[in-house]
Amino acid sequence: MLIVTVLAIATAALPAAVPEAGGLVVHGSPQDRSDLMAKIEATRARSPVFDHAWRELEAHPEPVHLAVGRDLAVTGGPTAGFVQIDAFEYGLYEGQARRARGWQVLDLDDLDALPERPSAGQPQAQDQGASLVHAVVELLEGIRHDRSRSAERYDHAHRAALRAENAYRIEQGQATQASTRVHRERDSTRWVVRYRDGSVETLTWREGRLVHVGFGG
């Protein structure tokens, strides 16, 4: 069951309206939700891996929440700062993301900075579908996991999301990921992703915005 709503503004608690029978609720502005759902449907159409994960998320017996916004910031928790594509177990409050089990936040500006599909010149590029696979599987595995500590749920969910992301890359004819290293500086963050064909992709954020995606040694 999929319920699409506009997220109510709240400062201290999660929105009270929760689907009693479980299922997925998508939060955000009408335009952001529309943009996200278009990306989701396009990815479902070309990826059995993503379609399966999405169907499982919709059918989950407990309520789960997927929130979408732009240039989102995280407050509190171990990863305070700007959201980089997605954030595990964060809910949205007044344009910021705060800790909440059963939630996943997606930054639509970051998704838009990734290619819809890899180009002929960069066939190994991380595309929007790979990021959606990662976020959806991470949310699903986090809410399924019975550990009480968020860090333990994240470790399990993140590893499952990486496996699903690689399965997506295989079905799309791409090399799988070998490693990802995160380099944080005062005003920027870089992800350096190495693929098993030997290619290296770098994603660079400045002040929370994904400003450069490129390949090199």
In CATH, what number is assigned to the domain containing residue 49? 3.40.390
Strands 209-215 and 23-27 turn out to be unpaired
> For residue 22, is it within any domain?
yes
Instruction: Kindly report, residue by residue over 141-162, the tens digit of the pLDDT.
Output: 999 998 888 999 999 999 999 9
> For residue 141, is it within any domain?
yes
Domain extent, residue 61, equals 2-176
Q: pLDDT-derived band of residue 185, with 50, 70 and 90 as boundaries?
A: confident
> For residue 209, is it within any domain?
no
Percent of the chain as helix, strand, coil, to the nearest 5: 35, 30, 35
Distance CA 58, CA 47 (A): 17
> For residue 208, is it within any domain?
no
> What percent of the chain lies above the pLDDT cut of 90?
70
> For residue 188, is it within any domain?
no
Q: What is the pTM of this model?
A: 0.87
Which burial class, exposed, middle or buried, applies to 30 when counting CB atoms under 10 A from its CB (0-12, 13-18, 19+)?
exposed
> For residue 189, is it within any domain?
no
Total domain count for the chain? 1
Instruction: Kindly report, residue by residue over 58-75, the tens digit of the pLDDT.
Output: 999 988 999 999 999 877
At residue 2, the pLDDT reads 43
Flag whether pLDDT at 79 surpasses 70: no
> For residue 123, is it within any domain?
yes
> For residue 33, is it within any domain?
yes
